[in-house]
């Protein structure tokens, strides 16, 4: 009997530990949405040096990936986690799906160990392609360093062949960035933890208006909406 009680106690502790770890992981993922919101808010606070508002008004989606880590020197790799939001037919931003970015990199500034990355998707078809599985920037969709500031809006007409505009921020500088060869994937595990639904897919997150989402998701959507519509009535 004592052995059975001891075994039950050990199993109970193991299950409690597992639940605690899962909760902690979910908390980290939720915090990532908050950080993504902070990145967008800081970048959009200075329109003259940020993403042109018109670019987001015409976009089908946006990926915000804070603190992408560099591995190696000059020629190395990158890894980061972030969120992807899409716009519906009425122009409203969806709840965020979690994503990961991995891949080789060339041209990081010497001494820069991490950076925030933003990807603006022009076409819905590009996002559908990404949702189907592993997606490589440059191979599966054309990418170009995005124009910066209000004066950069005209540059979007020059780069019509590009399906994704990419940006980076490090050391307080916000500039366009080339991300050829980086791979994007949906982080299904993080989605399940944050939304509390086993087997949930990104499309459900984007399309289900009744889905219960963290408060940080609403904050991020509001930041994007406010900036997207900033000059729409002028």
Q: Is the pLDDT of residue 42 over 50?
A: yes
Dmax (CA) for the chain in angstroms is 78
Given a cut of 90, whether residue 34 has pLDDT beyond it is yes
pLDDT at 150: 58
Cβ within 8 Å of residue 40, ≥6 positions away: 64, 118, 220, 223, 224, 227
- The whole-number pLDDT of residue 54 equals 83
DSSP 3-state of 101: strand
pLDDT tens digit string along 72-85? 544 456 788 999 99
Radius of gyration of the chain (CA): 20
> According to the model, what pLDDT value does residue 232 have?
56
More confident of the two residues 225 and 1 = 225
The answer to whether residue 20 scores a pLDDT higher than 60 is no
Could you report the per-residue pLDDT of 166-223, keeping only the tens digit for each? 888 876 666 656 677 788 999 999 999 999 999 999 999 999 988 999 999 999 999 9
∠ at Cα 214 (37, 38), nearest 5°? 10
Contact criterion met (CB below 8 Å) for 51 and 175? no
Mean pLDDT of the chain: 77
pLDDT in tens, 93-123: 999 999 998 875 544 555 556 788 899 999 9
Percentage of the chain beyond pLDDT 90 is 35
Q: How confident is the model at residue 3 (pLDDT cuts 50, 70, 90)?
A: very low
- Residue range 44-52: mean pLDDT, rounded: 74
**Would you give the end-to-end CA distance of the chain in angstroms?**
78
For residue 53, name the pLDDT band (cuts at 50, 70, 90): confident
Cβ atoms of 105 and 126 within 8 Å: the answer is no
pLDDT at 173: 65
Whether 164 contacts 119, CB under 8 Å: yes
Nearest to 99 by CA among 41, 223, 1, 182: 182
Residue of higher predicted confidence among 12 and 87: 87
Q: What is the pLDDT of residue 94?
A: 96
- Please report the sign of the dihedral spanned by the C-alpha atoms of residue 195, residue 99, residue 108, residue 143: negative
pTM greater than the 0.85 cutoff: no
Q: Which two tokens stand for residue 173?
A: 């500088």
Side-chain-facing half-sphere of 13: CA atoms under 13 Å: 6
| Main-chain phi, psi angles of 159, to 5 degrees | -105, 45
């Amino acid at each position: 009997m004592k052995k059975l009680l001891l075994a039950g106690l050990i199993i109970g502790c193991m299950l409690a530990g597992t639940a605690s770890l899962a909760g902690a992981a979910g908390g980290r993922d939720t915090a990532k949405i908050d950080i993504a919101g902070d990145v967008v808010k800081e970048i959009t606070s200075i329109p003259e040096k940020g993403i042109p508002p018109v670019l987001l008004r015409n976009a089908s989606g946006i990926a915000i990936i804070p603190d992408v880590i560099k591995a190696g020197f000059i020629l190395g790799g990158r890894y980061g986690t972030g969120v992807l939001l899409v716009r519906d037919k009425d122009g409203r931003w969806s709840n965020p799906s979690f994503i990961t970015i991995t891949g080789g990199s060339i041209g990081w500034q010497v001494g820069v160990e991490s950076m925030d990355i933003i990807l603006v998707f022009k076409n819905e078809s590009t996002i559908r392609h990404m949702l189907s599985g592993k997606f490589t920037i440059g191979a599966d969709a054309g990418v170009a360093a995005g124009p910066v500031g209000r004066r950069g809006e005209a540059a979007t007409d020059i780069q019509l062949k590009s399906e994704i505009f990419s940006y980076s921020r490090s050391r307080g500088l916000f500039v366009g960035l080339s991300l050829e060869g980086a791979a994007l994937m949906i982080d299904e595990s993080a989605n399940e933890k944050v939304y509390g639904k086993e087997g949930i897919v990104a499309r459900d997150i984007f399309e289900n208006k009744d889905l219960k989402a963290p408060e940080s998701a609403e904050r991020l959507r509001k930041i994007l909406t406010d900036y997207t519509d900033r000059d729409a009535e002028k």
